[in-house]
Amino acid sequence: METLEEQEQEQSTTTIVERSTKKTNMSLPSEIIEDIFSRLPVKSILRFRTLSKPWLSRISDRSFTNLHLTRAHRTALFILAHDESGKRHLLSAPRDGGPVTHLITFHNPDYIVMYAQHVNGLVYLTCMKRSNEHRTHVYAFVVNPSMHKIFKLPDPYTDVKDFTRIRYLFGFDESRNEHKILMIRDSSLRSMEIMIFSMSSYSWRKIHAEPPLGFTWDGLWLNFYHNVCVNSVVHIMLAVSFDILAFDLRTEKFLIITTPQGVLPEDYDDTKQNDPYIIKLNGCIGVVCYDSVAENNEMYIWILQDYENRVWVKETVIFPEEWITLRYPLSFPVDSVNMDEIIFIPSNFSGNVISVPVYNKKTRCFKSLRFASGNHFSLSRTLQFHYIRCYVESMVPL
Strongest mean pLDDT among 28-32, 104-108, 155-159, 243-247: 243-247
Mean pLDDT is lowest, of 80-89, 133-142, 190-199, 334-343, for 133-142
What pLDDT sits at residue 5? Answer: 43
Residues 39, 40, 46, 50, CA torsion sign: negative
Q: Judge contact between 300 and 306, C-beta under 8 A.
A: no
Taking 60 as the threshold, does the pLDDT of residue 1 lie above it? Answer: no
Taking 70 as the threshold, does the pLDDT of residue 265 lie above it? Answer: no
Query: Which whole number is the average pLDDT over 339-351?
Result: 78
What pLDDT sits at residue 13? Answer: 53
The Cα–Cα gap between 110 and 86 comes to: 8
Q: Judge contact between 31 and 37, C-beta under 8 A.
A: no
DSSP for 159-207, please give it: S-S-GGGEEEEEEEETTTTEEEEEEEEE-SSSSEEEEEEETTTTEEEEE
Taking 70 as the threshold, does the pLDDT of residue 202 lie above it? Answer: yes
CATH number of 74-392: 2.120.10
Taking 60 as the threshold, does the pLDDT of residue 367 lie above it? Answer: yes
Query: Which whole number is the average pLDDT over 218-229?
Result: 68
Query: Which whole number is the average pLDDT over 342-352?
Result: 76
Taking all residues of the chain, what is their mean pLDDT, rounded to a whole number?
Answer: 80
Residue 249's nearest CA partner among 172, 195, 308 is 172
Q: What percent of the chain has pLDDT over 90?
A: 18
Q: What percent of the chain has pLDDT over 70?
A: 80
What pLDDT sits at residue 395? Answer: 87
What pLDDT sits at residue 252? Answer: 95
Instruction: Provide the terminal-to-terminal Cα distance of the chain, rounded to the nearest Å.
Output: 24
What pLDDT sits at residue 4? Answer: 39
Confidence of residue 378 (pLDDT cuts 50, 70, 90): confident
The Cα–Cα gap between 33 and 93 comes to: 28
Taking 70 as the threshold, does the pLDDT of residue 301 lie above it? Answer: yes
Taking 90 as the threshold, does the pLDDT of residue 248 lie above it? Answer: yes
For the chain, give every domain's residue range: 31-73, 74-392
What pLDDT sits at residue 162? Answer: 54
pTM of the entire predicted model: 0.83
What pLDDT sits at residue 230? Answer: 93
The Cα–Cα gap between 396 and 65 comes to: 6
What pLDDT sits at residue 195? Answer: 93
